[in-house]
Chain A
Amino acid sequence: MVKRDWPDIWGGLAIALLGLGAAGWAWITYDPGTLRRLGPGAFPIGLGLALAGLGLAIALPALKRAGAAVTPEPWAAACVLGAILVFGLGLRPLGLVPATALSVLVSTLPAPRPGWLWRAVLAVLVTGLTVLLFHVGLRMTLPLWPRT
């Protein structure tokens, strides 16, 4: 137990800032309109301000309260998100097979079991399954390999 409820403090502040930012941007950029013809700015400004208020309502009481600690997993997050990026950015230039295999290898990096063999086997299995399901089964028009 820590003395303050840090997740709520940071979460609340981030949300408050996001709300303020959105409301501010909408205020500058979009017309709030009139009651008869509510403009494109009316809702974003209102929602942004409401979000800012709620964010403070979350963060302020948390200052005086103990909360459960959290343990972020930056390495796991980086690898999982990296795997998605590798897949997304690799799909078109590399084709489905290399993109899938690479993505699987990246995503298994933080897995709690050492060794490379199971990772390679998994990459082959997942790639095979993906090709079977999406290319053969659902007939998605995706290049399997790099173009020429």
Chain B
Amino acid sequence: MGTWDGLLTGFAFALQPGVLVYCVLGVTLGTLIGVLPGIGAMAAISLLLPITYYIGAEAALIMLAGVYYGAQYGGAVSSILLRLPGTPQSAVTALDGYPLARSGRAGVALFTSMAASFAGSVLGIVVLVLLAGWLSRAAVAFGAADYAAMMVLGLVAASTIGSAHPAKGFAMIVLGMLLGCVGTDVNSGVQRFVIGRAELLDGINLVALAMGLFGVAEVIGNVRDPGRQAVAGRIALRTLIPTREDLRRMPLPVLRGGALGSFFGALPGTGSTLSSFLAYAMERRVARRPERFGTGAIEGIAGPEAANNSAAITAFVPTLTLGIPGDPIMALMLGALVIHGIQPGPMMLEARPEMFWGLVASFGIGNLLLLVLNLPLIGIWVSLLRIPFRWLYPAILVFVCLGVWSVRGLTFDILMVAGIGLVGYLLALARFNPALLLLGFVLGPLIETNLRRALLISRGDPMVFLERPISAFFVVAAAALLVHSLVQARGRRRAVGAAAPDDGAR
């Protein structure tokens, strides 16, 4: 079956009322749980899984997928409006989305995130249809050395996110990497920094970390802040509509972010959280005036949102083409298929074309639905800002707790949120950037595990990082970038004396 025939079959399948309704249900639910801080796609899908036993395999997959990419849309809403990431993926969106909202342009920020999400998804779908085969071969070709080198490049690229005060930025990344060491060490099985708690053996819960650092710390800092008590006056419709200047700033970041996200989404084990961070770093890198970032740059929303949405789509590439789930959520989806007696893998395209193409078509339909659903909602979301904060934050705290609890049902994780929240509040007081901590936390274990694995596989020969072409490329790129930023930093120090802008921590 050719691509064109396949797509036609797919749309014919996905547009059947009995299938469409699950798509609508999935994306609506996804948006909702995305908006709620704490509870994310992972928890929602595990909760929905038992229900899918009673519907067809295709409809079940389409619904669960809808929850997954729908959550990426919703996550940005609370990031932008409240600086509380709805999902870890959207934490980086708060960096510029929230300042924009504070300056009365919440509508523009939301519009940007929705439009970028949609465009990113479309890009992801195009990549999925045209390049699935190539991407799945690339995923197999990537070895431990390549992953390690690529992550180091990511680290170098991202380390300038809050660069007004480089030492503070690096400290947060290193602290994040150190926190990433907590738990069972993959390579040796040694249990590190677990203070005797089995709950920590699988590491610190990412959701608890994101919610504690951003959500709880933000709530504490604003409880008594009268400036945070509702936006005064009516919201003029004019402030909801982006200016021509805003629109002009969007396409390139969306393309870059979408391309980056498509690539990272397809690589097993990297995930969409990382892709949105790296897209942000990339935008900051290529920007002519990087100092605008952190104060409400449209590009800082458009890039990451396009990236995490395209990653959410291409994450299906290894799952569907190889039968290899790239992240825990994909493993869950795979489980849902296996329950229905379907073994995803290279044979699926031939054995069940309506499933593959139906899913692809549902991505298109679902994302269109999300855009149509969310654009009119922008006005409603923005009016949330008129509710005094004291009416909102108690509910936010309860939702955060339940969201974290829903991941694996452990009281311990809720108590962790309180502990991390305290640390997050102290870090915020001292004006450290929590986004970098989160980045280090995601990147650190990937670097450590893959670096040590690569050395183990090469029987201890460090030349492996230069002998493998993919890895060598990333090593050279990382070195070049490092030299470039050092030269640039020296130049800037000479040019500018002081007067560094706020580094976005507060």
Interface, chain A (partner B; CB < 8 A): 7-8, 10-12, 14-15, 18-19, 22, 25-26, 30-31, 34-40, 42-44, 47-48, 50-51, 54-55, 57-58, 70, 72-73, 76-77, 79-81, 83-85, 87-89, 91-92, 100, 103-104, 107-108, 110-113, 122-123, 125-126, 129-130, 133-134, 138-140
Contact of A80 among B187, B216, B431 (CB under 8 A): B216
Contact of A76 among B168, B181, B224, B451 (CB under 8 A): B224
Contact A108 B418 (CB under 8 A): no
Contact of B394 among A35, A88, A104 (CB under 8 A): A104
Contact B418 A139 (CB under 8 A): no
- B residues in contact with A10, CB < 8 Å: 430
Contact of B220 among A11, A77, A129 (CB under 8 A): A77
- B residues in contact with A51, CB < 8 Å: 171, 174-175, 178
Q: Could you tell me the distance between the alpha carbons of A12 and B174 in the complex, rounded to whole angstroms?
A: 13
- Tell me whether chain B's interface is mostly helix, strand or loop, or mixed: helix
Q: Could you tell me the distance between the alpha carbons of A40 and B398 in the complex, rounded to whole angstroms?
A: 37
Q: Could you tell me the distance between the alpha carbons of A77 and B393 in the complex, rounded to whole angstroms?
A: 13
Q: Could you tell me the distance between the alpha carbons of A18 and B437 in the complex, rounded to whole angstroms?
A: 14
B-side interface residues, number (CB < 8 Å): 65
Contact B192 A87 (CB under 8 A): no
Q: A88-B417, A130-B399 known; 13 other A-B pairs, CB under 8 Å?
A: A18-B175, A30-B192, A51-B174, A80-B223, A81-B418, A81-B422, A87-B401, A103-B401, A104-B394, A112-B223, A112-B224, A126-B398, A138-B44
Give, as a whole number of angstroms, the nearest-CB distance from A45 to chain B: 10
Contact A91 B224 (CB under 8 A): no
B18 in the interface (beta carbon within 8 A): no
- B residues in contact with A122, CB < 8 Å: 391, 394
Contact B390 A108 (CB under 8 A): yes
- A residues in contact with B455, CB < 8 Å: 35-38
Contact A58 B167 (CB under 8 A): yes
Contact of A40 among B47, B187, B411, B421 (CB under 8 A): B187
Q: Which 8 A-B pairs have CB atoms at the shortest separation, nearest pair first?
A: A36-B460, A11-B430, A88-B414, A40-B190, A111-B390, A54-B171, A40-B185, A7-B430
Q: Could you tell me the distance between the alpha carbons of A87 and B36 in the complex, rounded to whole angstroms?
A: 17
| Chain B positions 380 through 423: 1 when the CB is less than 8 Å from some CB of chain A, otherwise 0 | 00000000001101110111111001100001001101100110
- B residues in contact with A14, CB < 8 Å: 426
Contact A37 B44 (CB under 8 A): no
Contact of B223 among A12, A110, A123 (CB under 8 A): A110
- B residues in contact with A8, CB < 8 Å: 168, 430-431
Most buried by B among A19, A47, A70: A47
- A residues in contact with B188, CB < 8 Å: 31, 39-40
Q: Given A22-B193, A36-B460, A37-B456: A81 and B398 within 8 A (CB)?
A: no
Contact of A91 among B171, B175, B391, B405 (CB under 8 A): B405
